[in-house]
């Protein structure tokens, strides 16, 4: 399979660019021209020179690549079943209904005067467009604080979706008290919130989460500290607030990598994020005398990211060699315009 992938890549040459998310399995990401988190790969997608962008990630990432790509470029997702459970927790009609209820409650106008909507990049193109059209922005875990500051400079309130944990951890780190952040449940009338709670809230968080990072618990931090005295605990801000409060540092996948890279020999880290990345870091940094382990020994892999296999990658590449485009991700032009506005704002915010 590796030989077939290499041969297809050699034939396609610079016409094909492979982007690989950090959570990909080793046998796939080894073929990536660029590795990174959502933010880094979004930037690479916008600069990609090839005609074909093969995105080894999940559906919303491939959508973002198509939105940011140049005319004539084609974005391919090797397996269309590679979705994101978090992105599925905010469906566009639910978000539209939420917004209508906020307008009726007098929290905002339809155009977004009163509240700035912010969507995590882990969301559909339709929601990115919805946010962009109402003066909002897309964020990643790398620039969520910058996005929230940007949003609060426009309005006194934020609607943050779909990951409540990233919004809560980022807001708390900026000095916003927990009692000024509320959770909107899309399956309850008025989000399950009273008019007074909505009125007094500075940040309205969507009730969504990452299935992988949700698994990490405060007791995992206590256990690993007891077992390895002096170990540094670093976690992704998609983890629950209680875990993040016990950690030594929070960070996007790129920042977690930087923290370990910049540490001295002999440093030990327990990392709260997807297991493929943690295992890869463990092997990479062992040569520098650093120990990197997962925060939870029974930690879960990202099952949807895992759907991208060498077989899928090989199939997509060999079809391109034969002149066939398979699994193209193409965002509708009307959605693409406003989603591009929101993504461009994201790329301008540090």
Q: Find the domain containing 51 and state its range.
A: 2-83+304-332
Q: Is residue 77 part of a domain?
A: yes
Last residue of a domain, one of 161, 190, 209: 209
pLDDT, tens digit, 9 for 90 and up, residues 157-169: 999 999 999 999 9
Predicted TM-score of the model (pTM)? 0.92
- The answer to whether 274 touches 212, Cβ cutoff 8 Å, is yes
Q: Under the phi-then-psi rule, with left for phi > 0, alpha for psi from -120 to 50, and beta for the rest, what region is 230?
A: left
pLDDT, tens digit, 9 for 90 and up, residues 76-90: 999 999 999 999 999
CB atoms within 10 A of CB 104: 9
Q: Is residue 342 part of a domain?
A: no
Last residue of a domain, one of 147, 179, 209: 209
pLDDT, tens digit, 9 for 90 and up, residues 316-336: 999 999 999 999 999 999 999
Report the DSSP pairing between strands 137-139 and 157-161.
unpaired
Q: What CATH number is given to the structural domain containing 222?
A: 3.40.50.10800
Say yes or no: 254 and 309 in one domain: no
**Residue 283: which of 291, 274, 295 has the closest Cα?**
291
Say yes or no: 114 and 203 in one domain: yes
- For residue 340, what are its two tokens? 């591009």
pLDDT, tens digit, 9 for 90 and up, residues 111-153: 879 999 999 999 999 999 999 999 999 999 989 999 999 999 9
Q: Work out the mean pLDDT of the chain and round it to a whole number.
A: 94
Say yes or no: 103 and 188 in one domain: yes
CB atoms within 10 A of CB 72: 6
């Amino acid at each position: 399979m590796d030989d077939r992938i290499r041969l297809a890549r050699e034939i396609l040459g610079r016409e094909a660019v492979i982007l690989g998310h950090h959570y990909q399995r080793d046998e796939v990401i080894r073929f990536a021209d660029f590795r990174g988190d959502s933010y880094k790969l979004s930037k690479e997608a916008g600069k990609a020179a090839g005609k074909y962008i093969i995105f080894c990630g999940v559906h919303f990432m491939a959508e973002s690549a198509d939105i940011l790509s140049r005319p004539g470029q084609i974005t391919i997702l090797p397996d269309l079943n590679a979705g994101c459970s978090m992105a599925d927790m905010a469906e566009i009609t639910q978000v539209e209904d939420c917004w209508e209820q906020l307008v009726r409650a007098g929290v905002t106008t339809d155009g977004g005067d009163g509240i700035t909507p912010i969507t995590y990049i882990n969301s559909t193109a339709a929601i990115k467009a919805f946010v962009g059209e109402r003066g909002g922005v897309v964020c990643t875990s790398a620039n969520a604080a910058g996005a929230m500051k940007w949003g609060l400079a426009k309005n006194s309130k934020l609607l943050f979706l779909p990951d409540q944990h990233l919004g809560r951890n980022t807001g708390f780190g900026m000095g916003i008290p927990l009692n000024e952040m509320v959770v909107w449940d899309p399956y309850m009338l008025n989000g399950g919130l009273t008019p007074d709670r909505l009125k007094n809230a500075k940040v309205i968080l969507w009730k969504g989460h990452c299935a992988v990072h949700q698994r990490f618990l405060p007791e995992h931090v206590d256990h690993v500290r007891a077992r390895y005295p002096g170990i540094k605990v670093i976690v992704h801000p998609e983890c629950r607030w209680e875990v993040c409060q016990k950690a030594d540092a929070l960070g996007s996948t790129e920042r977690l990598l930087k923290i370990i890279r910049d540490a001295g020999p002999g440093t030990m880290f327990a990392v709260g994020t997807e297991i493929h990345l943690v295992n890869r870091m463990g092997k990479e940094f062992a040569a520098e005398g650093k120990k990197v382990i997962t925060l939870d020994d029974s930690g879960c892999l990202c099952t949807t990211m895992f759907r991208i296999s060498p077989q899928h990658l090989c199939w997509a590449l060999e079809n391109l060699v034969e002149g066939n485009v398979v699994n193209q991700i193409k965002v509708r032009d009307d959605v693409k315009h406003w989603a591009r506005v929101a993504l461009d704002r994201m790329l301008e915010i540090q």
